[in-house]
Amino acid sequence: MDEFGFIAEYLSRLAGPEGLELKDDAAVWQPPIGFDAVISMDTLVEGVHFPKGKFDAQIAQKLIAVNISDIIAKGADPLGYFLSLSVPKETNSDRLKDFCHGLSIAQKSYGVKLWGGDTTRTSGPITLSVTMIGTVPKGKAVLRSGANNGDLLCVTGTIGDSYLGLKILLKQIDTDITQARYWQNTYHIPRPPLALQAAILKYAKAAIDISDGLLADAEHMARASGVGMDIFLSTVPLSTASTAWVLEQPDHQTARLQLATGGDDYQVLMCVAEQNFSRLKKQASRHEINMTAIGKVVAGTNVRCRDSQGREIPVTHPGYKHF
């Protein structure tokens, strides 16, 4: 199947009206009056972000989800996306069809449509990029730089499941099949908290999605805001499966630290005024989403990880770095 056959047969079905049926060289879109456009881009590379040979519906869903989480963290409403797809010549039509099926599932989950993009052949690893477009009321985007001394630091969902999913795939840990399947599913198909977009916009003073690792992304937000942060490791929320894994390890604190620095969680870390936390938590519970206070914004410029007694825990590697 050639490029144009692939677009006509599979991708055009995913297109929104802005994409002009994918028959033109560009999309046409008019942002609503009173709104700013919020634009984010993420890339997944075979052998770096997903296992070699795994080009399927799950990877397509992950590709959309990791971009959605960036938009949600701005308090924005995701609308559409552009897809860049570079695959080897020998990629057969069944694999392309399965990938597009995954895009369709993700589009229905997050309410977005394909607006355009580019497809190319490559002699290197499969490379997938999405540029996601959203809107937010003018001047109201939630930035990394809005945290203030005294704010509570809180996080959606649970942390560390994706890290353990990767460890299973790399055969670095062994566990029962139920736990393994849960962790692998979380790694392959993240679930950013779309239902909290409006609450993040209303209550968050600063926010960031967790991709590099909870502690690393807290550092990004602290640096942008010019503040320090104290994070209490024992309060970082874990799933039942991950809690069980921690309890099986010889050093529980080290195990928890691994989960807090593993990355690929695609939950949202945010700062809120202390008086607003209960309102935010109530909104989250209505959508059956965990919302946990894990620390506080403090004076200074460093992010410190602390134990339950308030003692600082040394952190050598707070998260993932590409360079």
DSSP E strand stretches across the chain: 35-45, 77-87, 113-121, 127-137, 152-156, 204-209, 228-232, 268-272, 291-298, 303-306, 312-313
CA distances from residue 212 to 28, 109, 215, 245, 261 in whole angstroms, order as listed: 33, 24, 8, 21, 8
Select from 122, 137, 152 the last residue of a domain. Answer: 137
Give the residue numbers spanning the domain of 105.
3-137
Select from 137, 163, 193 the last residue of a domain. Answer: 137
Q: Are residues 65 and 92 in the same domain?
A: yes
Select from 137, 160, 190 the last residue of a domain. Answer: 137
Which phi and psi (to 5°) does residue 260 adopt? -80, -10
Q: Are residues 37 and 91 in the same domain?
A: yes
Q: Are residues 105 and 156 in the same domain?
A: no
pLDDT on residue 323: 40
Is 323 part of a structural domain of the chain?
Answer: no
pTM of structure = 0.94
Is 322 part of a structural domain of the chain?
Answer: no
Q: Are residues 40 and 72 in the same domain?
A: yes
- pLDDT tens sequence across 196-231: 999 999 999 999 999 999 999 999 999 999 999 999
pLDDT on residue 320: 64
Which residues are registered as beta bridge partners of 113?
Answer: 80
Q: What is the CA radius of gyration of the chain?
A: 20
Per the structure, the count of domains in the chain is 2
Q: Are residues 109 and 151 in the same domain?
A: no
Q: Are residues 62 and 161 in the same domain?
A: no
Asked if pLDDT for residue 3 goes beyond 80, the answer is no
Is 320 part of a structural domain of the chain?
Answer: no
DSSP E strand stretches across 88-126: 113-121
Q: Are residues 167 and 284 in the same domain?
A: yes
DSSP 31-63: PPTTEEEEEEEEEEEBTTTB-TT--SHHHHHHH
Question: Cα–Cα distance between 144 and 303 in angstroms, integer?
Answer: 14
Instruction: Pick the closest to residue 287 from 204, 185, 207, 193 (CA basis).
Output: 193
Provide the percentage of residues in the chain whose pLDDT is more than 90.
Answer: 81
For the beta carbon of residue 217, count every other beta carbon within 10 angstroms: 26
Q: Are residues 87 and 157 in the same domain?
A: no
Banded pLDDT at 16 (limits 50, 70, 90): very high
pLDDT on residue 321: 58
pLDDT on residue 89: 87
Is 319 part of a structural domain of the chain?
Answer: no
- pLDDT tens sequence across 166-206: 999 888 888 877 888 999 999 999 999 999 999 999 999 99
Exposure on the CB side of residue 92, measured as CA atoms within 13 A: 2
pLDDT on residue 1: 62
